[in-house]
Amino acid sequence: MKAIHQSRSALYYIIGTAFLLTITTLAAAGIRLAPFPRGREGRGISSIPGDSPLLDSLLKANPLLKRVALNPQYELQIIYTQINRDAQNRPTFTPHTYHLNPGQYFNPASLVKLPVVALSLEKLNDLNKPGVTRRTIMATGTAWRCQTPVPFAAPADSDRAATVGNYIKRMLLVSDNVAYNRLYEFLGQRPLNQRLQEIGYPNARITRRFAPCDTAANRHTNPINFHTLRGDTLHKQPAQYNPTAYHSPLGRVLKGRAYQAGRRIIAEPYDFTTANHFPLADITAFLQSILFPESIPTAQRLRLTPTDYAFLRRYLHATPHESGFRPYAPARYFDAYKKYLYYGRNPTTPHQSNLRIYNIVGMSHGYLADVAYFADSLHQSEFLLSAVLYVNQDGIINDGVYEYDSIGQPFLAQLGRQIQQYDTQRPRPYRSNLAEFFAPELIR
């Protein structure tokens, strides 16, 4: 399928670069948004595009959505991207934004797992080592403080083996943090961030494990070996070190009125300056690049095979139960475990068979985010929806007291339903043929 290259630029904004990107015409709303203005190095941008009248009206039409949307304490950002197909089923993308602000930091939490899983598959392809695939056993050693090992083992249960493929499944199905750490270490901090720059994400920073490691320790990553089932070594990767200290492109980032360290409350803001950073527009574009790779300029596409894309798609939409991945029992990992938009992570909400949601989520430090693609086979409709909000009324970071269940999840569930209802009913030139997103999946 052929797509319009404007789709990617419409989702991007620039911080510290020398070019200007513009927003495409919002045909459905009958308006044109102002272009994203050029920013200053490391300081974000001087202004932000206006809110979409369409999104503004949809949010204000619902009391729950309106209450959050109009309250600045929730730091809400939304991107709703309409997808229209032509007679040949080729998609174009029209983004509508609400309070999208690249100068406003939010903790991406597990959103960074999406680029990590994709770039891990890409690295396996680049290694081009006979026998080294996503199913090959991977042993992780130690070479620096704050590193933990995963010794070689060849268990009979292949679903529990330490492999790149299983780590990816764990990350996409239930957002497993240990699996993320293993693939962060496989990629190495410097190569990971260099590759993100190469493919068009100059403002992304992935600098931390999800573990209590300091900034220096996160710059050191473990030695890794790949082995046959008999234990023969197929490939050795030495320990890696990044000599360059990464900081937020926004400059110093302080959040909250206090933070908790151990059992103590420190009466000063929490410093996110060296934390992970991935703007909402960028992670939205990254998801689009996986689901619609031909919509991305060739030079910025991932070096993935059709099988790689199919593998990622499979586990981006599958629930823990339907995935067939045996470590995840339905009693603990319910269907909506990682589906915030539309389902609100509600364990009792039945899933709709006609609706597939391909998504990645984040939940940490009071930030709640979901970046998703919706495909509805009943109404032949589709769209991208990304949202992040901050639910930390006491202003204390790391105290574990956040309004995820009382405010955050209900808001995201209602937002997904409101946009879904609107998108299925809006006029479109042609109904989407979504066969590729509902075809039988045999890949494991």
Q: For residue 49, what pLDDT is reported?
A: 58
DSSP string, 8-55: HHHH---SS-S----PPPBGGGTB-PPPPPPB-TTS-BS--PPPPHHH
Question: Is 195:126 a contact under the CB 8 Å cutoff?
Answer: no
List Cβ neighbours of 425 (8 Å cut-off, separation of 6 or more): none
pLDDT along the chain (444 residues), means of 10: 39 30 30 29 38 96 96 98 97 96 96 98 97 98 98 90 97 98 98 98 97 97 97 97 93 96 96 97 97 94 97 96 85 90 92 95 98 97 98 97 98 98 95 93 78
pLDDT of residue 264: 96
151, 185, 238 from 130: Cα distances, Å: 22, 21, 19
Report the pLDDT value the prediction gives residue 40, as an integer from 0 to 100: 29
pLDDT at 442: 73
Element (H, E) at 358: strand 355-364
Q: What are phi and psi of 325, to 5 degrees?
A: -80, 110
Per domain, the residue ranges of the chain are 6-105+279-438, 110-271
10 Å Cβ neighbour count for 398?
17
Amino acid 166: pLDDT: 97
pLDDT at 18: 25
Dihedral (C-alpha) 170, 175, 180, 183: value to the nearest 10 degrees? 40
Is residue 295 within 8 Å of residue 8, measured between CB atoms? yes
Mark residue 341 as left, alpha or beta (left: phi above 0; alpha: psi -120 to 50; beta: remaining). Answer: beta
Exposed / middle / buried, residue 304 (Cβ in 10 Å: 0-12, 13-18, 19+):
buried
Dist CA 418 CA 107 (whole Å): 25
CA distance 169 to 117: 9
